[in-house]
């Protein structure tokens, strides 16, 4: 990943490992467990402070939306296991999944824990009008067959069937799709930021103040 001028970030995958062990976690995406005594964070809107960060990112961090991960397991997605509204959970899933793709490509997403969110990332993109992005994600998911495995161990097995020999393009089935993802979303100006802000404000009904 390289920084570009004008405050925009340009994403490019240079080196990728078979099983990435590190991930960059954006605000609101920390991997800690929820506790029953935590009060709902969704209504703490007064804590929002304007700064240089996008509205959606600051809001997710301010409201400690990490509990969204409780809704996913190897058995599938159950939004009732998290106190956050389902639409907020979907934004959190997309945000964390995109972070993994920006850092280590679609291989990094689908070979890691966050790959469990992939079907909901597709749903979020479709409902946000990002049909070209959802198409890319669907092509990547289709590699695993008609029944996408939520279990990360099963996804490891499928991806490890390709010998890690030669150039990355020789063993990474998502190599071409990475370039498309970056072209239409991550390196496409404010497209993702605008979509995420719109989702939070309009779909989730969250105001700036």
pTM listed for this prediction: 0.77
Where exactly are the structural domains of the chain?
Answer: 59-196
Which CATH code fits 59-196? 1.20.1420
Task: Write the pLDDT tens digit of every residue in 3-58.
Answer: 333 344 454 554 444 544 333 333 333 333 333 333 344 444 444 455 578 999 99
HEC string of the chain equals CEECCCCCEECCCCCCCCCCCCCCCCCCCCCCCCCCCCCCCCCCCCCCCCCCCCHHHHHHHHCCHHHHHHHEECCEECHHHCCCCHHHHHHHHHHHHHHHHHHHHHHHHHCCHHHHHHHHHHHHHHHCCCHHHHHHHHHHHHCCCCCCCCCHHHHHHHHHCCCCCCCHHHHCCCHHHHHHHHHHHHCCCCHHHHHHHHHHHHHCCCCCC
Q: What is the mean pLDDT of residues 108-131?
A: 96
Task: Write the pLDDT tens digit of every residue in 96-110.
Answer: 999 999 999 999 999
* Phi, psi angle pair for 20, to nearest 5°: -55, 135
């Amino acid at each position: 990943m390289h920084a570009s001028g004008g405050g925009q970030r340009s994403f490019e995958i240079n080196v990728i490992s078979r099983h990435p062990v590190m991930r960059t976690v954006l605000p609101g995406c920390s991997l800690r467990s929820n506790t029953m005594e935590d009060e709902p964070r969704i209504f703490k809107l007064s804590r929002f402070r304007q700064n240089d960060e996008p509205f959606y990112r600051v809001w997710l961090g301010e409201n400690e939306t990490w509990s969204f991960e409780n809704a996913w397991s190897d058995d599938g997605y159950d939004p009732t296991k998290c106190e956050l509204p389902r639409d907020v959970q979907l934004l959190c899933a997309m945000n964390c999944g995109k972070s993994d793709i920006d850092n280590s490509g679609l291989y990094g997403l689908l070979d890691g824990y966050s790959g469990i969110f992939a079907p909901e990332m597709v749903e979020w993109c479709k409902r946000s009008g990002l049909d070209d992005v959802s198409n890319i994600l669907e092509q990547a998911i289709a590699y695993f067959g008609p029944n996408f495995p939520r279990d990360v161990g099963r996804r490891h097995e499928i991806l490890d069937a390709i010998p890690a020999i030669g150039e990355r393009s020789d063993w990474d089935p998502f190599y071409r799709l990475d370039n498309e993802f970056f072209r239409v979303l991550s390196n496409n100006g404010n497209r993702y930021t605008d979509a995420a802000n719109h989702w939070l404000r309009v779909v989730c009904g969250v105001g700036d103040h």
